[in-house]
Amino acid sequence: MTGRKFVATAIALFLALGTNPAQALSKGTFYLELKTGCYAANKAATKPSKWSDKDYKMLYATNCAAAHHYEVFYTGLIKAKDLNSDAAKKEAGLACDKAAVATLTGQKDLPSSLTYGYFFPDPGAEEKKYGKKIFCFFRVADPKDDKYTLSIKRSFREVTYV
C-alpha cells in the first residue's frame, strides 16, 4: 500500500511539474527545434524584446494565451541549395506568405504592426545538423521603434474543435 501511495504521489508531482508555466519558461528551446506554438524571447514576455538581439537562438515556450513575443505558425523545408542566397530568402518568404494568409484568413482585430519573419539554419554546422528547415513566426513590431517586438497578448490562430 505504501508503494502505491509513493508511485501515485510521484506521478502527481511529475504531472504538476510538467504543466507549470513558470517552469516551461525556465527551459529554453533552440530556435531550430521550435514547433508551432508560442515563445517568449526572454523569461519576462511582458517586456519588449529588441528585434536585432543576437540572442534569438534560445526561445522560451509559453502558453499562447499568455504574453509571448513569437508565434510559430509554420515549419517546413526549403529546396534552395545555398541558404545564404537570395533564392533561399525568396523561397522562405513565399512559404511564409502562403502559410500566413492561410492562418490569418478570417481573423479579426489584428494589430496594425503585425508582421512575420522566419528563421532557418546558418550555413555550415547548423545546416548539416538541421537541414534546410524554416520556421515562420508572427511578431508585433513596436510602432515607436520597429527594432522592438512587443509581447503578444493573444494567439493569432483560431483553434476550433470538431
Query: CA-CA-CA-CA torsion for 96, 75, 67, 63, nearest 10 degrees?
Result: 150
- pTM of the predicted model, to two decimals? 0.72
Tens digits of per-residue pLDDT, 78-91? 999 999 899 999 99
Q: Please state, for a pLDDT cut of 90, what percent of the chain lies above it.
A: 30
The pLDDT of residue 111 is 72
Taking the C-alpha atoms of residue 125 and residue 129, their distance in angstroms, rounded to an integer, is: 6
Would you list the domain boundaries of the chain? 27-150
